[in-house]
Structure 1
């Protein structure tokens, strides 16, 4: 593996023809980075300026180390609520914003540490801990949480509530008490309508930028600040110094838990986004290298008063459509933001807060995947249920417990599939080679005295009893089979617990005058059962390279002939053993 950072390798092979496209894309990208950066900072419960600090440093960090030439990292709507849920409970009672910044910066450093260690240890597979159905449910719940949380700000008032239900109740009370500021509501609702309309009918127009510019113009002309509308105000001038965030030890454990959850979501989001864009550009997705890139971006942000970041599909799409070729696009955006906060800190002083709420709400709408949820309902009810539970976990318990539930459900679903795998018996189908599932082919012919049993999973401690019970049930059928042939190709592993169960099962069948036969064992599995001493117990003569050879041996010994094809399979036990989706 090369020790030269990807950014230097790109610079060494940079083509002059890319320069104008990268610079132009950087200018276009900045028009989205600035308003979204400030909006997502407020979503995380932090001052708007920290969103700009974060955007600058993460773009520079990823440009140096990130493996993708086109991905754009930055503050993200899916991370904002997670950051707020981690940081705000630790902030002092008076809501000290500087303490919140320090906590968020340390959170970014912790996310960086997790990412860098995991990347070096080649743990990129943790991005697969969240299945798509549970991720859909999580993001749907997150979209609803963001939407409800931003509605008061959109209408010009605030609520002090903890949890979605309390926020809905307090929002309703605010409406009933007449807390809505008409001018704020006009700006916020008008901003949402404008962004959605432009995205729908003029997708090439930078909708967020147009809305923000119009909101500033209306605010300046109409003096919205004098009509009860909160404004951003003048941003702090200059750039923060390099600083190591420090907090009391009592805050470290809660921050670490939040950092782990953020790291999982950030990586999953980055891998899915990079995969989508890599397919268009012909690049290869490297999960471990992405972890190092994200870790470096978070570290850079955390050392300069920033907060955790992730990949943004929308900003990456903007950069791609604008012609971006390399990470020079992101560097250009970072430089332009620096110029903005150093030379023009008052540019956004008249930007209404409801306009930022509109930015966040329109972003949250893109998180929700209602068509995907409907598809799960139609195609696989079990996974729809998992998605619904993940949604409820986020909506009712909060974003951090919600991501824990999402990860837990994904792992449990994998475990469930292995614990109760698909299992069936096989038969001979006329005019077809091989042996086939009697569920799919109910007229398959069977061989008297022999049952071919297929178990579609590795044999391990959790499902060994399931395997044993099914084989015992087959052995007790009438008429009792002489051979039970296990079509073992799908069995990719046998652990020690399963080996002990197979010992006992073989002994039980021997006492009944029946034989347990294995056909098609893979070489690595065969070597394992040899090591367990299982081969000697079962006897080598009951181990066959293929199902066909086992059937041929049985027919030669018993002079058995295939039974005529039935019109149905009466008493078929396989119908009583549903697969994972059953």
Structure 2
């Protein structure tokens, strides 16, 4: 519990900064907590319960001095996709809350178990291109899903295409509430303008206050605009969520996806903000912190949480020095529920939609996608596939596609690694790739081949086929010299294939020769019996040593002007 060590290391000079930052943070926590609860298909009050508990828990168990946790725009659609299909037809808020709370408990348990097993590396399963595509897909899904609320009416399709079609149909059918659309669109423009030109001003708070004022002065409720209404007073009791056993399997799948996204987001944000403050944090301790935050929320009618980069940035800009900032924010939210539950009674629902939509815009990263296009067309295709998976198949299938594509990309790189022939380049030391140096020189009868990956069961056949193709070249090579330094491993399947390949090449009058084998790989080869099958004189410490041996045996010479060491 890193938080228990804070009192002994806390500096008095931090106190004022932490309290001020906590007050500023609280103004953001309330509207975002309410908005993200609705995004998850839950009552707005649950967003505030979640905010309070997760901040208290992370302050005790989290390693970061500044990280702010809470309801998250990226998790909202995943929670809704898991919970809403299990809720009874017509909607049952109590069952939805129970399911969401159980989901938080499951996510928290996954996080703690993953930390005990030291599985922080799991966050690396989603590559940057696929995560980029996933977030872009999530952004457009959230945006389209909030448009009906922004325009003052409801749809219930449950899919991106369905929501888009229903929204267009609703607008075309005259369902738009003009006052609601005016409040929502004005809210979006105001938030974006303030964030762009006055970044130090709490844009969301300003918009929320003005929306409440407008609703009160112009009696927007009478004009058809839905309002939040008075929140329940007080704080919920400790609650063990009760759900049907048949709901558990889908909850399990949803919890895994949420845990993976939350883990990835938390570790990346933690590392980023820690680097800026000169602090080092442990990924496994971060999992304990985020796990404890989810467990605390789950036992008090909350839902899964993650790190918020935007709220953490607000805290940092406001002078936050420790987790006292988050605790201050949580206490202020709690006091609001106990003393002023009607404070946001006149907040228009379109204003909450504006908060969610502007948050979704921050999830999308079009410049990064364009930059990726310029860097690698193949990785853009992975990003696009993840984007389409989220947009057209749904949020949970989308995260499955993102993870699957990332893992397949790992296998693709190992299965079809880069391979090339290398040769001498006039005036340069060593041996170089012929793809980049077409003028590279070769000794007659000698082919130097490089394979940039381990050789194992999944890729040994392409490896063998490439060498066979080199052996069929005319004039027929006497040696195929494998520049083996990039080969970091060889398994038993590959060893058997290499033995057969050596026999096959010997029968054709070509020798398979190895240079620069790593000590570990060479030890494995000896263990597998490869050195007993392949001529022990066909193993050389360096490529130069192998080339000198070839020249000595064959009398081959470099072309004119090509002298060793040039």
Which TM class, normalised by the smaller chain length?
over 0.9
Partner of residue 127, structure 1: 123
- CA deviations 1:52-110 (Å, max 9, x no partner) are 11011111111111111111111000000000000000001120101100000000000
Which of residues 72, 80, 84 is equivalent to 2:80? 84
1:33 maps to 29
Tell me the secondary structure at the aligned position of residue 268 of structure 1.
helix
Q: Which residue of 2 aligns with 1:364?
A: 360
Q: Do residues 109 (structure 1) and 113 (structure 2) align?
A: no
CA distance in 2, matches of 1:293, 1:554: 61
Q: How does 1:454-465 map to 2 (within 5 A)?
A: 454-465=450-461
1:134-189 Cα deviation digits (max 9, x unpaired): 11111111011000000000011001212111111111111111111111111101
Q: What is the match of residue 277 of structure 1?
A: 273
Deviations 1:405-449, CA, capped at 9 Å, x for gaps: 000001111111111110001111122221111111111111112
Answering whether residue 209 of structure 2 is matched by residue 213 of structure 1, we say yes
Unmatched runs of 5 consecutive residues or more in structure 2: none
Pair 1:484-2:480 in alignment: yes
Matching residue of 2:465 = 469
Task: Look up the SS of the partner of 1:485 in the other structure.
Answer: strand
> For each residue in 1:328-365, what CA deviation from the matched residue of structure 2 results, as whole angstroms up to 9, or x when unmatched?
11111111111110111000000000000000000000
> Aligned-pair distance for 1:450?
1.1
Counterpart of 2:434 in structure 1 is 438
1:294 corresponds to which of 273, 276, 290: 290
- Residue aligning to 1:575: none
Give the Cα–Cα distance (whole angstroms) in 1 for the partners of residues 558 and 55 of structure 2. 69
* Paired position in structure 2 for 1:499: 495
Task: Report whether the alignment pairs 1:536 with 2:528.
Answer: no
Find out whether 1:96 has 2:79 as its counterpart: no
1: CA distance, partners of 2:405 / 2:185 = 37
Q: What aligned pairs does 1:255-266 form with structure 2 within 5 A after superposition?
A: 255-266=251-262
Q: Among 406, 412, 416, which residue is 1:410 paired with?
A: 406
**Per-residue deviation, 1:275:** 2.1
Q: Return the offset for 1:258.
A: 0.2
Q: Is the 8 A contact 1:443 1:565 kept in 2?
A: no
SS in 2 for 1:16: coil
Counterpart of 1:353? Answer: 349
Specify the alignment match of 2:391 in structure 1.
Answer: 395
- Supply the RMSD in Å over aligned alpha carbons: 1.1
Could you tell me which of 315, 323, 326 is aligned with 1:327? Answer: 323
For 1:532 and 1:225, locate their aligned partners in 2 and report how far apart those are by CA, in whole Å: 79
Determine the structure 2 residue equivalent to 1:453: 449
1:159 is aligned to 155
Task: Give the distance between the partners of 1:37 and 1:552, measured in 2 at CA.
Answer: 71
1:318 is aligned, of 314, 321, 339, to: 314
Q: TM-score, normalised by structure 1?
A: 0.95
Alignment partner of 1:516 out of 507, 512, 515: 512
SS in 1 for 2:230: coil
> CA offset at residue 555 of structure 1?
1.3
Match of 1:571 in 2: none
Once the two structures are TM-superposed, the CA of residue 554 in structure 1 deviates from its matched residue by 1.1
Matched pairs, number: 562
Select the residue among 163, 175, 190 that pairs with 1:179: 175
Question: 1:35 offset after TM fit, Å?
Answer: 0.5
Give SS of 1:53's match.
helix
Query: Deviation at 1:526?
Result: 1.2
SS in 1 for 2:344: coil
Alpha-carbon separation, structure 1, partners of 2:511 and 2:168: 71
After superposing the two structures, state which structure 1 stretch, 430-439 or 107-116, moved more: 430-439
- 1:284: how far off? 2.1
Distance in structure 2 (CA, Å) of the matches to 1:555 and 1:63 = 69
Q: Would you say the 8 A contact 1:445–1:565 is kept in 2?
A: no
| Residue among 412, 417, 434 paired with 1:421 | 417
Is the aligned partner of 1:149 residue 2:145?
Answer: yes
Q: Distance in 1 between matches of 2:293 and 2:74?
A: 17
Q: How far apart, CA to CA, are the structure 1 residues paired with 2:279 and 2:465?
A: 49
Which of 23, 36, 41 is the aligned partner of 2:19?
23
Is the CA contact 1:517–1:543 (under 8 Å) kept in the aligned structure 2? yes
CA deviation string 1:462-485 (max 9, x = no partner): 110010001111111111111111
SS in 1 for 2:227: coil
In the alignment, what sits opposite 2:337? Answer: 341
Task: For residues 481-535 of structure 1, give each alpha carbon's deviation from its aligned partner in whole angstroms, at most 9, with x where no partner exists.
Answer: 1111111111111111111111111111111122111111111111111111112
Which of these residues, 33, 46, 52, is aligned with residue 56 of structure 1?
A: 52
Offset of 1:366 from its aligned partner? 0.5
Q: What is residue 132 of structure 2 aligned with on the other side?
A: 136
Given that 1:445 and 1:564 are in contact with CA atoms closer than 8 Å, whether structure 2 keeps it comes out as: no
After TM superposition, the structure 1 = structure 2 runs for residues 225-240 of structure 1, keeping only pairs within 5 Å, are 225-240=221-236
CA distance in 2 between counterparts of 1:331 and 1:501 reads: 62
**CA pair 452-324 structure 1, distance change in 2 beyond 3 A:** same
Conserved in 2, the CA contact under 8 Å of 1:271 and 1:285?
no
How many angstroms does 1:9 deviate by? 2.0
What is the SS of the residue equivalent to 1:151?
Answer: helix
Structure 1 unpaired stretches of 5+: 567-582
Equivalents in 2 of 1:429, 1:327: separation in Å?
59
Q: 2:200 matched to which residue of 1?
A: 204
Moved over 4 A (4+): none
CA distance in 1, matches of 2:271, 2:436: 35
Superposition deviation, residue 565 in structure 1: 8.0
| Other-structure match for 1:12 | 8
Shift of 1:564: 4.9
Once residues 285 and 134 of structure 1 are traced to their aligned partners in structure 2, the CA distance between those partners, rounded to angstroms, is 26
Is 1:303–2:299 an aligned residue pair?
yes
